[in-house]
């Protein structure tokens, strides 16, 4: 056949298991033939599971569902902005929302995943069969495009294009050559064993599968245990779809970000045989003291390791998420999902300190907490260093006399998720990477620090101090002590290696429980999958996972 050919775009799989393409009619004089590339019959779907705040949420549309008091059915409740212009608009919107409105809008029981989020395929030079319809049917609109769009598209394109023909010979595609040539030091590993360049035989096996890529959004205000059950249903739904169309589909691969790793682990614990493998990116395996800081003080607005541009971005995010405890507490105090990011029973203790400055020696610690269960610390709503101030938790009056009960119930749900649903389980074919970067400082501990003239206080006096009003702007607290006046305790800045969100001691939590753990640097938490090295590592590990598929 000597006639020239052209690829037919956007092939579709019909119910009979046949791939169908559409070609435009042309005059007889045009002899170019349409060519339809048929994917392999063996299918391993890849599902991207985002972190907290990475899923788009809206008010429930079912007339019989709980009604959101601030939004019309279907109205967006949480839609992370994409780009500077959208970000500016979102900042203005949330800046004018009072704590009462924030609580009403982000009411967990009245929200559901919104699949109509932004999808911007124009950012890629060629679509390679991926159009808006394809992206929507694969639920890409459920998750934040700015954080995950490049990941979704890169996996869809690169995983399904392994070899090409050059001068009559089959050669590896350029994007895979780039993965093989990537500097392994950026993966925190030497180029040997697991991280050695992929071989022709490994690529050969990989090329025998089709890898459709899906997004999975979830209501991150609810317990990760509930989200895991929804992911379980999604996994089964996707496998059923491909199997019903006469494709050989038995397992999926999960690629997770941050809290999505907790969701995926809980899901895999129930259906391990349906999971070929999991890649965990920047997962807070033991939780993060940052969560205590945000509930107790409001969202941090800067980092000692941040650039002025980066700190400007943190200020903008803090306005959206809540700059003060008065804004964060009403949203998070009774939301199990965020509470499940608190340091759990496996996080190294102590991690909460009350200290005072000393002029010529190290700071003196009055208190080192928790001394027992961290969940007892979270249930304490009377101490001045408490996580949750009930006076701030219900400005909208939504709990109708049951506020303390509802707070305690949410904390118990978080405890049960940590200790019973998840505990230390990992799927046996898991890999993980985390940030171990002092240039991306994180809260390894939370520390309340007073000035030197209060050094005469005893530990017992500090423990029994009484809070004077709410926290100040920036998260500090005034604490009164009988016969000794008032002391001001400031919450200290980020102190340890990490990715700006998850400290290294939590990111390293999977050590000994996964096939390999990569300690990496050079990116912030939200941008981990936008980092070229981490994107290359993810693709490399997917090929490795495929080698174990029978």
pLDDT tens, per residue, the chain with 550 residues: 466 766 666 778 888 888 887 776 667 766 677 667 889 999 999 999 999 999 999 999 999 999 999 999 999 999 999 999 999 999 999 999 999 999 999 999 999 999 999 999 988 876 667 899 999 999 999 999 999 999 999 999 999 999 998 888 899 999 999 999 999 999 998 767 899 999 999 999 999 999 999 999 999 999 999 999 999 999 999 999 999 999 999 999 999 999 999 999 999 999 999 999 999 999 999 999 999 999 999 999 999 999 999 999 999 999 999 999 999 999 999 999 999 999 999 999 999 999 998 776 778 899 999 999 999 999 999 999 999 999 999 999 999 999 999 999 999 999 999 999 999 999 999 999 999 999 999 999 999 999 776 667 889 999 999 998 766 667 899 999 987 888 899 999 999 999 999 999 999 999 999 999 999 999 999 999 999 999 999 999 999 999 999 9
Q: Name residue, tokens 């209501």.
A: 219
Query: Contact 389/407 with Cβ under 8 angstroms?
Result: no
pLDDT at position 31 is 67
Query: Contact 221/337 with Cβ under 8 angstroms?
Result: yes
Within 116-267, strands assigned E span: 163-166, 169-172, 209-210, 213-215, 248-249, 252-257
Cα separations in angstroms, 488 against 207, 363, 467, 477: 63, 15, 10, 6
Three-state SS string over 363-395 comes to CEEEEEECCCCHHHHHHCCCCCCCCCCHHHCCC
Using omega within 30 degrees of 0 as the cis cutoff, is the peptide bond preceding 350 cis? yes
pLDDT at position 1 is 46
Q: What is the DSSP letter of 258?
A: T
Residue 322: count of CB within 10 angstroms of its CB: 23
Give which of 469, 470, 476, 474 is closest to 451, Cα–Cα.
Answer: 476
pLDDT at position 401 is 92
Residue 155 host element (H or E): helix 145-159
Say how many Å lie between the first and final Cα of the chain, rounded: 37
Residues 6+ apart with CB under 8 A from 125: none
């Amino acid at each position: 056949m000597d006639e020239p050919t052209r690829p037919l775009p956007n092939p579709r799989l019909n119910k009979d298991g046949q791939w169908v393409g559409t070609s435009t009619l042309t005059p007889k004089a045009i002899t170019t033939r349409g060519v339809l590339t048929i994917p392999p019959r063996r299918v391993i779907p890849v599902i991207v599971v985002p972190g907290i705040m990475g899923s788009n949420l809206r008010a429930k549309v079912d007339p019989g569902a709980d009604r959101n008091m601030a939004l019309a059915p279907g109205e967006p409740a949480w839609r992370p902005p994409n780009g500077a212009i959208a970000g500016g608009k979102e900042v203005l919107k949330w800046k004018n929302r009072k704590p009462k409105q924030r609580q009403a809008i982000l009411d967990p029981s009245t929200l559901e995943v919104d699949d109509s989020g932004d999808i911007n395929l124009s950012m890629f030079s060629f679509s390679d069969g991926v159009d808006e319809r394809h992206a929507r049917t694969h639920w890409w609109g459920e998750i934040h495009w700015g954080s995950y769009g490049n990941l979704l598209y890169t996996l869809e394109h690169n995983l399904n294009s392994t070899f090409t023909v050059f001068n009559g010979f089959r050669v590896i595609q350029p994007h895979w050559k780039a993965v093989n040539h990537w500097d392994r030091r950026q993966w925190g590993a030497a180029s040997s064993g697991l991280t050695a360049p992929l071989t022709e035989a490994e690529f050969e096996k990989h090329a025998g599968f089709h890898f459709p890529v899906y997004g999975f959004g979830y209501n991150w205000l609810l317990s990760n245990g509930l989200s895991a059950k929804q992911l379980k249903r999604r996994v089964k739904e996707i496998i059923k779809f491909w199997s019903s169309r006469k494709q050989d589909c038995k397992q999926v691969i999960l690629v997770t970000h941050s809290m999505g790793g907790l969701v995926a682990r809980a899901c895999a614990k129930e259906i391990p045989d349906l999971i070929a493998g999991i890649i965990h990116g920047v997962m807070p395996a033991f939780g993060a003291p940052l969560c205590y800081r945000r509930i107790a003080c409001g969202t941090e607005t800067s980092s000692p390791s941040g650039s002025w541009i980066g700190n400007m971005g943190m200020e903008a995010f803090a306005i959206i998420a809540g700059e003060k405890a008065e804004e964060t507490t009403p949203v998070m105090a009774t939301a199990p999902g965020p509470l499940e990011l608190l340091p759990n029973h496996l996080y190294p203790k102590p991690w909460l300190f009350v200290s005072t400055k000393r002029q010529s020696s190290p700071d003196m610690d009055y208190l080192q907490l928790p001394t027992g269960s961290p969940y007892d610390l979270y249930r304490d709503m009377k101490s001045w260093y408490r996580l949750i101030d009930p006076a701030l938790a219900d400005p909208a009056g939504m709990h109708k006399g049951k506020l303390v009960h509802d707070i305690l119930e949410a904390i118990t749900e978080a405890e049960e998720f940590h200790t019973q649903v998840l505990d230390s389980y990992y799927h046996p074919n898991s890999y993980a990477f985390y940030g171990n970067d002092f240039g991306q400082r994180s809260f390894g501990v939370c520390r309340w620090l007073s000035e030197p003239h209060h050094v005469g206080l005893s530990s017992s006096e500090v423990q029994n101090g009484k809070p004077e009003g709410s926290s100040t702007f920036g998260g500090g607290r005034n604490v009164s002590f009988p016969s000794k006046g008032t002391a001001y305790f400031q919450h200290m800045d980020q102190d340890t290696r990490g990715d700006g969100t998850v400290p290294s001691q939590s990111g390293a939590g999977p050590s000994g429980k996964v096939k390999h753990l990569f300690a990496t640097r050079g990116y912030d938490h939200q941008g981990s999958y936008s980092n070229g090295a981490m994107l290359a590592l993810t693709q490399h590990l997917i090929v490795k996972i495929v080698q174990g598929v029978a």
